[in-house]
Amino acid sequence: MRHVIALDVGGTGMKAALVGDDGELLHRARRATGRERGPDAVVATILDFAADLHAYGLQRYGEAAAAVGIAVPGIVDEERGIASYAANLGWRDVPLRALLGERLGIPVALGHDVRTGGLAEGRIGAGRGADRFLFVPLGTGIAGAIGIDGRVEAGAHGFAGEIGHVVVRPGGISCPCGQHGCLERYASASAVSEAWAAACGDPDADAADCAKAVASGDPNAVRVWQEAVDALADGLVTALTLLDPRTLIIGGGLAEAGEVLFQPLREAVRQRVTFQKLPALVPAALGDTAGCLGAGLLARDLLDSAGPVRPDPDSTDLDSTDLDSTDPDSTDPSEVTA
């Protein structure tokens, strides 16, 4: 049975799957990243994990994986297959594509985690059927993935989609990137957590607590939340003015607030547009499985000489609920729950 390996590397854990030619998830596994052991150990863990998956597929299905797709955080040179930099993993200029290719002897596709997650959301998630979309996860920071006809645009230098560093409050809060007033300093989950902790006097309060307080009508929480929503709307309107997406997909931890976020955000965006066409503004559908699902799509694209193919809108390939379900074939000793 022809299949590919899909691997999503995070700061603390890795998710993986073997994906069949028809998109069926044949096997799922998790393993700790082990970043506390240093960058060289992280790379070794990735290579070992991929090798274990490769061996399992050969043993279980009688055929080796045909390709590997891997998504990693930080700065990624997808064209050269190099993981250029990741602060949370401590690595620099790691030739992951070459290392995996040498270890496994099969083609390897390397992708940026947010763009890879955006690829999955666009093809099989909330953006399915949209020819143009923008995926914006609101987490510790804010990134973005620009979807065009079934692929995600990386840009000339691999930095396309960095909406979190659009300046929305000139002269505002300093950002580690060197600018002041960046979007992610006002509208990321970490920014809301920081603002709400200061407003309520509880240093342990976070964005989820703020959302609950908003739902209960707390005026301080409403103020903090609205300031974040307004900043986010300013950034999104800048993006839709430039990109004209058909769908805006909002994900990440802040999106878990549901309509507490989406109702005021849709209204704030609507109030700001003039000549622009309002896109559909929807929550992400795949959650934290998007990176792994997207890695599988990258690997499958390598095997398609014609390039990326847009799926049938009625297809059920790579169902994200399957990735988290219990699989009798996913209990081999190599697995570690992250």
pLDDT of residue 304: 82
pLDDT in tens, 274-315: 999 999 999 999 988 899 999 999 999 998 853 444 444 443
pLDDT in tens, 69-108: 999 998 899 989 999 988 889 899 999 999 999 999 999 9
* pLDDT band (50, 70, 90) for residue 162: very high
Alpha-carbon span 198 to 35, nearest angstrom = 31
The structure tokens 């309509």 sit at: 259
Average pLDDT over residues 251-257: 93
pLDDT of residue 210: 97
Helix (H, G, I), strand (E, B) or coil at 13: strand
Q: Could you tell me the pTM of the whole model?
A: 0.84
The structure tokens 């007033």 sit at: 181
* pLDDT band (50, 70, 90) for residue 43: very high
Task: Enumerate residues 6+ apart whose C-beta is below 8 A from 133.
Answer: 118, 121, 122, 127, 147, 245, 246, 247, 248, 249
pLDDT in tens, 136-150: 999 989 999 999 998
